[in-house]
Amino acid sequence: MARPGRPRMPKAPLPGSVEGFLDMLIAERGAALNTRHAYERDLADVCAFLKKSGKDIDSATTADLKEYLNELSDRENAKSKGGGKTAVRTIARRISALRQFFGFLVSEGKRPEDPTSTIESPKQTRTLPKILSEDEVTVLINTAQKQGGPESIRLVALLEILYATGLRVSELVGLPLTAIGPDSRYLTVEGKGGRERMAPLSEPAQKAMRAYMEIRTKFLMPDRAESQSKWLFPSRTSESGHLTRQRFAQLLKELSRNAGIDPERVSPHVLRHAFATHLLKHGADLRSVQKMLGHADIATTQIYTQVVGDQAKEAAEKHPLAQKANG
């Protein structure tokens, strides 16, 4: 976002082939707008690099792309003082974007070959998601309840809904008022690619929702009521009319400090991870968790089984009988 008073820099126009690829992501693959923007940024960076030497992405060779990736690696390593996992992830994501783009060109008959076919992605060590314990989630909710006032009631509702459903933060803050099912027993959620799913609410979440609905109008402004009224979590200040992801993340950081939990360990996505891990820990079916999280691929959900497995192993090693046997 441009700083106040500073004119926004115009974007360099992208080649028609890149625009065509980006449009295809939305039209044929049902990709979310954020996904389109991510691919646009990645491919724009490649185009800008190639342009310096008078080349274009449509006719780029394998050597051109390797030269770009070497430059990207140097840039990322300098940015993160040595690189590490962040640099590896960035490079791997950029290669993935290039593969999909050139795969599109080949399928459209605009190139006879894919210049990325001999380029290998850097090996990534998959890190396990960070989570909070069940006790820590309880402490967060109890702390939010003690704060009092409309802000407290809203925060409790946000926490209970997020922990009960595992929604993505963008899905949570962008819920329309019409998402609430009969008796507030479930939510209808539109996820990535416009895929719709039902998210059942726990009894604590239903109770928190009902309490919040009684004071929801306190977050509406008379002069902006029309633009705000359609949102479940309206905001008096945001341009969108609803609570923003950034503001919710700030509220969580403040809450974690008040609860005596390291703020660096708490975020909306961490609560989503906690939802999935705690469900599996208590015997939930992996397919059911996949549907509730809105994962298109069950492989994405399977990583939580490793978290549960590691926790069980750690608990077993701490058991007095195990310690006695090892001793």
User: Is 111 a catalytic site residue?
Assistant: no
φ, ψ for residue 244 (rounded to 5)? -95, 160
From 55, 75, 245, 295, active-site residue: 295
From 75, 197, 269, 281, active-site residue: 269
φ, ψ for residue 190 (rounded to 5)? -100, 110
E runs forming strands in 165-266: 186-190, 196-200
What CA–CA distance (Å, rounded) separates 54 from 207?
62
Enter the tokens of residue 26: 């939305």
| SS3 call for 186 | strand
What CA–CA distance (Å, rounded) separates 17 from 108?
10
Enter the tokens of residue 13: 């126009």
User: Is 273 a catalytic site residue?
Assistant: no
From 154, 168, 216, 242, active-site residue: 168
Angle between helices 245-259 and 149-165 (to 10 degrees): 100
What is the residue-wise DSSP string for 225-243? HHHHTTBSSB-SS-TTSB-
User: Is 216 a catalytic site residue?
Assistant: no
C-alpha dihedral sign at 171, 172, 174, 176: positive
Q: Provide the greatest CA pair distance for the chain.
A: 71
User: Is 192 a catalytic site residue?
Assistant: yes
From 192, 197, 207, 245, active-site residue: 192
CB neighbour class for 164 (10 Å; exposed up to 12, middle 13-18, buried from 19): buried
From 242, 272, 273, 278, active-site residue: 272
- At residue 191's C-alpha, the angle toward residues 188 and 197, to 5°, is 40
User: Is 319 a catalytic site residue?
Assistant: no
Catalytic residues: 168, 192, 269, 272, 295, 304
